């Protein structure tokens, strides 16, 4: 690194210390004299995102932005970022204090950090909507590094593009005509599309139906982009359902599991998709009961449309929500296939 860059980095570190001190937070004990002295002593950062809630759109967007920014910071710090769920017996702040996590993403820290824990925490510059990154006071170098990185990153085009993608309003899926982008998560969706063999636009359509691309969406026991339960996530080794990567992995693999089930029963490809989507929404056990009921009514249990006609006589399943769910996802999928540019 050039001497001028080293001097600039050292200057940024000193500035971050002054700002932290002015904010009333315990000053750091040591400042790196040169860029070479300024490095992490760990190759993995354990992080948690604990914004005020997960239901509101702005909070869901903040969760998505935070997850993405943590990965970018990991690249800068040459460290692997693992975004972990909260410990069931400890609060996020307790986990931070006990060094179970390195970075806690928190909004409104003045309200959310108790007085008796203030001395054990350092708080970063403000990111957006009063979101901050909190570190342990036992690790002053990490907070310095975060603030230096935030100063540069938040002035970059990458940050502006990331905010634009994460906070874009998705009243309905709209294609970016310049890039063909459907959601903020296209890259991850395409990766699991390649792994599962499921059309990425079908996965994107399902994801929109489930969460409208809100990372922090929650409904009953289902969480995140593809509304996956903890039980289903555990089947695929996923522990944090508010991680876009983990949620898309679990949701895609679960849909693939459902599709394989119907393929093995000899259903045609379109009915495989319809029954898999219905099972994703209502549960495969419930859909199996519907198929058996259809058979008892003299209908073809392997034809989704015929099964739907028997919902009116099925006293165990109304079916209106699931019928609309399958219909809407397929209609959106067709629209996306017609409008997303095909790269040659």
C-alpha span between 158 and 26 (Å, rounded): 32
Quick one: how far is CA 6 from the chain centroid? 35
What local confidence, expressed as pLDDT, does residue 65 receive? 86
What local confidence, expressed as pLDDT, does residue 103 receive? 94
C-alpha span between 313 and 318 (Å, rounded): 9
What local confidence, expressed as pLDDT, does residue 20 receive? 44
Q: Please name the helix (run of DSSP H) or strand (run of DSSP E) that holds residue 123, with its range, or none.
A: strand 121-123
What local confidence, expressed as pLDDT, does residue 267 receive? 97
Domains of the chain: 3-162 (3.40.190.10), 186-339 (1.10.530.10)
> Which pTM does this prediction carry?
0.67
SS3 (DSSP) at 57? helix
C-alpha span between 336 and 338 (Å, rounded): 5
What local confidence, expressed as pLDDT, does residue 28 receive? 36
What local confidence, expressed as pLDDT, does residue 108 receive? 86
Tokens of 288: 């199996």
- The per-residue pLDDT for range 36-53, each reduced to its tens digit, is 445 677 889 999 888 765
What local confidence, expressed as pLDDT, does residue 52 receive? 66
SS3 (DSSP) at 287? helix
Q: What is the pLDDT along the chain (344 residues), one digit of tens a residue?
A: 444 444 454 455 445 544 444 444 443 333 333 344 456 778 899 998 887 654 344 555 787 788 889 999 999 999 999 887 655 434 788 888 888 899 999 888 888 888 888 888 999 999 988 899 999 998 888 999 999 999 999 999 999 988 887 776 665 666 666 677 888 899 999 999 999 999 999 999 999 999 888 887 888 899 989 999 999 999 999 988 888 899 999 999 999 999 999 999 999 999 999 999 999 999 999 999 999 999 999 999 999 999 999 999 999 999 999 999 999 999 999 999 988 766 64
C-alpha span between 317 and 339 (Å, rounded): 36
What local confidence, expressed as pLDDT, does residue 241 receive? 86
Tokens of 241: 């359902």
Exposed, middle or buried, 163 (CB in 10 Å: 0-12/13-18/19+)? middle
Q: Which of 220, 223, 291 lies closest to 63 in space, CA to CA?
A: 223
């Amino acid at each position: 690194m050039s001497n001028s860059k080293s001097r600039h980095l050292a200057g940024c570190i000193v500035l971050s210390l002054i700002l932290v001190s002015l904010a009333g937070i315990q000053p750091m004990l040591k400042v790196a004299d040169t860029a070479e002295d300024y490095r992490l002593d760990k190759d993995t950062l354990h992080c948690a995102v604990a914004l005020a809630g997960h239901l509101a759109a702005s909070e869901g967007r903040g969760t998505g932005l935070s997850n993405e920014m943590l990965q970018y910071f990991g690249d800068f710090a040459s460290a692997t970022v693992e975004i972990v769920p909260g410990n069931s017996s400890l609060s996020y702040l307790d986990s931070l204090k006990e060094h179970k996590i390195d970075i806690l993403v928190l909004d409104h820290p003045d309200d959310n950090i108790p007085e008796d824990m203030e001395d054990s925490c350092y708080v970063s510059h403000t990111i957006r909507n009063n979101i901050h990154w909190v570190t342990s006071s036992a690790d002053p170098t990490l907070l310095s590094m975060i603030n230096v990185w935030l100063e540069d990153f938040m002035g970059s085009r990458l940050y502006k593009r990331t905010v634009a993608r994460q906070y874009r309003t998705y009243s309905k899926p709209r294609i970016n005509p310049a890039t063909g982008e459907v959601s903020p998560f296209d890259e991850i969706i395409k990766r699991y599309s390649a792994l599962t063999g499921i059309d990425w636009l079908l996965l994107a359509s399902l994801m929109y139906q489930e969460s409208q691309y809100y990372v922090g969406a929650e409904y009953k026991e289902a969480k995140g982009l593809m509304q996956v339960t903890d039980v289903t996530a555990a089947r695929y080794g996923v522990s944090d359902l508010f991680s876009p990567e983990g949620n898309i992995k679990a949701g895609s693999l679960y849909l693939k599991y459902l599709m394989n089930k119907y393929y093995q029963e000899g259903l045609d490809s379109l009915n495989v998709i319809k029954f898999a989507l219905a099972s994703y929404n209502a549960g495969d056990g419930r859909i199996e009961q519907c198929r058996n009921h259809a058979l008892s009514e003299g209908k073809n249990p392997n034809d989704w449309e015929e099964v739907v006609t028997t919902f009116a006589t099925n006293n165990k399943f109304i079916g209106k929500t699931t019928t609309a769910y399958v219909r809407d996802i397929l209609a959106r999928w067709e629209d996306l296939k017609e409008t997303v540019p095909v790269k040659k």
